[in-house]
Amino acid sequence: MASLSTRSGEFFGGSPDNRTETSFLLAAATLCAFDILLTLPREFRCIWKKRFSAITVLYPVIRYCPLGAVLMQIIPLQWTSMNLVR
């Protein structure tokens, strides 16, 4: 499977670069964070104030792993771009 940078470069008809990939990843992280902040009061009321169950274990995994995965892709890209500037 091709990486996001390869697919984004092919989509725009040029060679992939770090700025395009970083822009897509930052947009994804922003949308994930916005969704989490928007639904936080309901999440506390419906999930965390309830009795401990399998749902209270699975919910954070399903809810917060996408944001973590996107952030883990952004961090190495930023290190790479900082090393190229120096």
Give dist(CA 65, CA 45) in Å, integer. Answer: 21
Half-sphere exposure of 82 (CA within 13 A, CB side): 6
Give dist(CA 75, CA 33) in Å, integer. Answer: 16
Going by the DSSP 8-state scheme, the letter that residue 50 receives in this structure is S
Q: Taking the domains of the chain in order of start, what are their residue ranges?
A: 4-85
Mean pLDDT of 19-30: 86
pLDDT above 70 coverage of the chain, percent: 69
| Longest CA span, the chain | 53
Beta strand extents in 1-86 (DSSP E only): none
* Per-residue model confidence as pLDDT tens digits over 41-80: 998 888 888 888 888 889 888 988 888 888 888 877 666 6
- Mean pLDDT in the chain? 77
pLDDT above 90 coverage of the chain, percent: 14
